Amino acid sequence: MEEQAALYSLGRSAPGRIVTQAKAGESYHNYGLAFDWVPLKPAPKDPTMLVVDWDDETAFRIGEHVGGSFQLNGISWEAGHLQSSQYASWRDIPRKDVEQPTQQNVAKSVSIRRVKIRRP
């Protein structure tokens, strides 16, 4: 919850650009019920490196296939996101054992970085 609160503060009360519309507790990610993905392909200049191979139509088809196979739903505004189809909304997810963010931990809990992915 603290990480989501910190992400939500970016571009609002903290420096940076807005990266999410979901406040703490409003994302399936907060409950371990969602993941984001990006299709990759070998880099033209270095085939040992991978680069983003994004195409909305292909991403949608892959997401639809994977989602159907594992009972996951996509969301219309984010093609590279899949989440549990068990709940109709984040409001329906049980809240037991969920800690609310503390103001002092919000600012230090976000770390965004780019990484290179190598094939094994």
Look at residue 77 and tell me if it is in a domain: yes
Dump pLDDT digits (tens) for 109-120.
444 445 455 554
Look at residue 51 and tell me if it is in a domain: yes
Look at residue 119 and tell me if it is in a domain: no
CATH assignment of the domain containing 20: 3.30.1380.10
Helices then strands, each counted (H, E), the chain: 3, 5
Look at residue 58 and tell me if it is in a domain: yes
Look at residue 113 and tell me if it is in a domain: no
Total structural domains within the chain? 1
Could you tell me where the beta strands, DSSP code E, fall in 1-120? Answer: 34-36, 40-42, 50-52, 72-75, 78-84
With tokens 């503390």, the residue in question is 102
Amino acid making up residue 43: A
Which residue in 24, 4, 35, 31 sits closest to 95, CA to CA? 31
Dump pLDDT digits (tens) for 20-69.
999 999 999 999 999 888 888 999 999 999 998 888 887 778 888 888 88
Look at residue 71 and tell me if it is in a domain: yes
Range of the domain at 24: 2-106
Cβ partners under 8 Å of residue 61, min gap 6: none
Look at residue 90 and tell me if it is in a domain: yes
- Asked if pLDDT for residue 106 goes beyond 50, the answer is no
